[in-house]
Amino acid sequence: MKRITRLIAVLGALSLAVGCGSTEDPAAKATDGTTDTTGGTTDTGGTDSSTDSGTIDGTTNPSSGECTERTFNATTTQVQGGADNGGVIIFNGQQEANGTADLLIVESWGQLGGPQAAGTYRIDSTKNYKDCALCVLMASGCDQQSCSKYFFATEGTVTINNYSVEAGQTASVTVSDLKMIEVTIAQDYTSTPVTGGENICLASAELTGEVQAAGGGGEVQTVEPFAEPSPVCVTEGNGNGLGNNVKALELQNCLGETVNLHELYCGAGQKAVWFATSAEWCGPCKQYDPIFNDLAAKNDQIDFYVILGQDSSGGTSNMAAECAGGFGYASGAISMVPASHVLIDPNWSTSDQAMDSYGAPGIPYGRVVAGENMQYIWAEYANDGVNTDVEKALKTASGLETITGWDQFVQNMQ
């Protein structure tokens, strides 16, 4: 499930989370090797004087029309990339501005034909943020929850000075002669110009940084699991790592009911209990968690829960009110996660104490427990070498040989 999505890339520069989601950090372009053929193509070498998104011969693509001149000098830059993810590279630059931050994001989606080599490339003015292969976005007035304005580049050039998608190497990009229009961005990433909105021009800006692995830099660890798990539940638990029987968890759900997970599942037969650590401010959580819940609802042997740790302001005082109607974005046949399966855990203190997070760099991140004895068998950022992904973990915990709806789930996640 690790992937960069467009808004995760935007908010990743504020270190909110991955996948917060980008965050949020929400029809996303997967970086797990999936190929999408809806985008245009971009040349990756030579020279070209065409007006599409290919390399050019050093000429500029000047902005036209009225615009406000802006400058951007990055105080910090994060670079995410991955050869295994279709050659995706995303630069997140941050500039401090009177207590908030401005962000400059340059994205090359290799699986859509985005640049995969050093060179100078022209922005394709026909593309929307949803389908661009080479994209430049600016956000202004950003804090830890949101940004006041978003701007999408419709003209200009991108020069990739140093290209690399290998973790630990340096990558560098320069943008020039940008014309950017103010937009709103929908949940499906469609950018829509704001009527009467602001146009801005940016003469030049450079972003340079060390490449982190796509997905926020969080490494998936292979850990030695607890060797002597109990075949039955252990009320006080025998540890919080993979293989351990976790202690009894008792939390309030968003209906105000007390949910004791040991009482529900211990000794009741094979059942996968799947958790997603989430927050009301996290866009990717609200996008993905209903998809997780939809898969679980199609399988009697899988139950899904949101572990809600913060409200929309990043605090904990308003969680119950905000989640009373459920959690997440409904879309088509996929409903919100019902309030009965949203468990309130302020700042995730109880769940993190019971189940090691293994250094998860952001949210949402998943965990799977075998309900019959509450044995912790899988985490998003760690595995025991056997249950290496969520599908295997769900099968192990539930006893299912085939998970109903899995193919559709994979499509929904893409």
pLDDT at 64 over 80: no
Per-residue pLDDT band at 65 (split at 50, 70, 90): low
- Decide: 272 and 370 in contact? Cβ < 8 Å: yes
Model pLDDT, residue 212: 73
- Each residue of 323-352: pLDDT tens digit? 999 999 998 899 999 999 999 999 999 999
> What residues does each domain of the chain span?
6-213, 221-413
Cα–Cα distance between 106 and 127 in angstroms, integer? 15
Give the neighbor-by-neighbor strand order of the sheet with 258-260. 221-222, 382-383, 375-379, 365-370, 272-278, 302-308, 342-344, 250-253, 258-260
Class of domain 221-413: alpha beta
Distance separating the N- and C-terminal Cα atoms of the chain? 9
pLDDT at 187 over 70: no
Cα–Cα distance between 134 and 282 in angstroms, integer? 25
The one-letter amino acid at 377: I
Listed range (145-149, 248-252, 277-281, 341-345) with the worst mean pLDDT:
145-149
What's the pTM value of the predicted model, to 2 decimals?
0.56
Closest CA to 103 of 136, 129, 125: 136
pLDDT at 362 over 50: yes
Model pLDDT, residue 414: 66
- Report for 165-174, 228-237, 274-283: range of highest mean pLDDT: 228-237
Model pLDDT, residue 30: 32
pLDDT at 79 over 80: yes
Model pLDDT, residue 188: 64
CA torsion 344-382-289-78 (nearest 10°) is 100
Per-residue pLDDT band at 152 (split at 50, 70, 90): very high
pLDDT at 71 over 70: yes
In this prediction, residues 303-323 reach a mean pLDDT of 94
pLDDT at 318 over 50: yes
- Decide: 337 and 302 in contact? Cβ < 8 Å: no
Write phi, then psi, for 275 (nearest 5 degrees): -115, 145
In this prediction, residues 296-310 reach a mean pLDDT of 97
- Each residue of 8-60: pLDDT tens digit? 444 443 433 333 433 333 223 333 322 232 222 223 233 233 333 333 333 33
Model pLDDT, residue 49: 30
Per-residue pLDDT band at 378 (split at 50, 70, 90): very high
pLDDT at 1 over 70: no
Arithmetic mean of pLDDT over the chain: 82
pLDDT at 236 over 90: yes
